[in-house]
Structure 1
């Protein structure tokens, strides 16, 4: 993994910057630096961005639908839907305004169903957003048209990673914003016998990203030192000062498995994996984060040899890989 600094310039938050209505926006592909392959038939992933932002969205589409458990933590959650069954999940930048991207996904799915509105034809879409205005000087946000584009460009078996989609201007390590670095979205996939697990995450955290050797690999970079520090060292130095809290964060995660789990088991495995991510992001679930996990199952295979706790333990390692993938 490269550890070269990737500093994020803080926004000036000047009034009068352009928003969507002020620009002739056209959705653009958002391929990132590459993709992670996964073997979960029926799971499609698409990304799109507005380069004028820059900002983007990521759509995970499961045409057959999947049971879903949501674990939303932190003090600044931005979410729509939150259903216990979904046909698509839309992750986006743009904070509360970016929730309109999920509405665009919903509209596109209605069109694909030939405008059928019978109860059992309704397409359920949940959305969640990160606050990415802090790294750019525009008010452009992912809207319905961008959500529709991401869905139209979705492919089966590939998850784009890097500075793309919802992670287009994500950043990490914000003890002080002058030390933040660009992050992105990442993914990892694992198989354990017949069991399969995909974890994808958009890292836009207060916390810095930590590898398995305990090194800070992204965020909280001190230019004067030419190195990154663990946030705990900086917070210790700030005790007794009037340091301002850095706003504009949130890590969004989607975990998809093919294992048959009860509703209670699915929720608890999701919580277990979400909790484990504090190893790779420190601190995590803070007052100014809106960390949200969508745990989904396609209900295809029985869990043999291990209990749900074991599945959660294995999936937690996949989640750490996904975090590291996001910041390469």
Structure 2
């Protein structure tokens, strides 16, 4: 069994400091390592405010990428949601963290030397997790942090661990006293010429489950020295669950898919993630998956459904990576 990393609950006291009260400095948010991936033209950057701690993660595709968005659950925090994007910004800070995506937009505008002709516009979508539960302040990812994350972006590497948008993410929140820190994870798969990167930020009310059916993160019972499936607590009416949760996922592939096929890929992979997160898509989750394609290769000898099945296994690997 993995060692517990129990989260400390916020007191939600009034008058706590926020961005305007502090001299915040955007910092790199490297996590404990990176997952390398080979999809040319895709850059990833992270940044954080240590005072939170909270952060954001930016996936930048300078050439732009067709996008499908699958949003589920009762508490979605989403901006843009466009079907074509140059960047995706994931952030903590709940609704206030949506400002980080505006910072990414501003940075991209500056990089285009303020050109605003229609075909010069840089398109950015964003989504947020509620990470105030584990900290006693109101610091949130703002425009300056979004700009910093984009400036830190590197091609071919995805930072993992308690970093970026996953800096203060928590999972297994049947009762926050039993919650554990989550984080962000990533996995990369190649299937012939087809490639897929899946990265996810785990801030779910549910627990994280491996392929053997064992709970590896969340709902840790100190008195029992182990983790329990939430269904046991719900059956005993032991808890109603904690509000303020969300899992954010970005899938990037080089496979050329029709719009309908890309949309279905997003749904198929997002649906598959319930195997690794239980329960998933709940009333208090705001789960969002962005599926982007760089439109480089055709599927050769593989149907979109089969590719979706393979990508779903990569997604499960990303979930387990985030729980490490």
What range describes the TM-score normalised by the shorter chain of this pair? Answer: over 0.9
Residue of structure 2 in register with 1:83 after alignment: 82
Residue of structure 1 in register with 2:284 after alignment: 288
Deviations 1:34-65 (A, max 9, x none): 00000000000000000000000000000000
Three-state SS of the structure 1 residue aligned to 2:7 is: coil
Cα distance in 2, alignment partners of residues 44 and 108 from structure 1: 15
Count of residues in Structure 1 that have an aligned counterpart in Structure 2 = 324
Deviations 1:156-203 (A, max 9, x none): 000000000000000000111110000100000000000000000000
Return the offset for 1:234: 1.2
Residue of structure 1 in register with 2:190 after alignment: 191
* Counterpart mapping for 1:91-170 below 5 A: 91-170=90-169
Residue of structure 2 in register with 1:309 after alignment: 305
Residue of structure 2 in register with 1:274 after alignment: 270
Cα distance in 2, alignment partners of residues 5 and 193 from structure 1: 39
Deviations 1:240-288 (A, max 9, x none): x6x4431111000000100000000000011000000000000000000
Residue of structure 2 in register with 1:9 after alignment: 8
Cα distance in 2, alignment partners of residues 326 and 20 from structure 1: 28
Cα distance in 2, alignment partners of residues 55 and 149 from structure 1: 13
Return the offset for 1:232: 1.1
Three-state SS of the structure 2 residue aligned to 1:320 is: helix
Cα distance in 2, alignment partners of residues 247 and 6 from structure 1: 20
Three-state SS of the structure 1 residue aligned to 2:104 is: helix
Cα distance in 1, alignment partners of residues 240 and 136 from structure 2: 21
Residue of structure 2 in register with 1:46 after alignment: 45
Residue of structure 1 in register with 2:319 after alignment: 323
TM-score using structure 2 length = 0.99
Cα distance in 2, alignment partners of residues 234 and 309 from structure 1: 36
Q: RMSD of the TM alignment (CA)?
A: 0.7
Residue of structure 2 in register with 1:224 after alignment: 223
Residue of structure 2 in register with 1:177 after alignment: 176
Gaps in structure 1 of 5+ consecutive residues? none
* Counterpart mapping for 1:210-249 below 5 A: 210-238=209-237, 243-249=239-245
Return the offset for 1:233: 1.1
Residue of structure 1 in register with 2:18 after alignment: 19
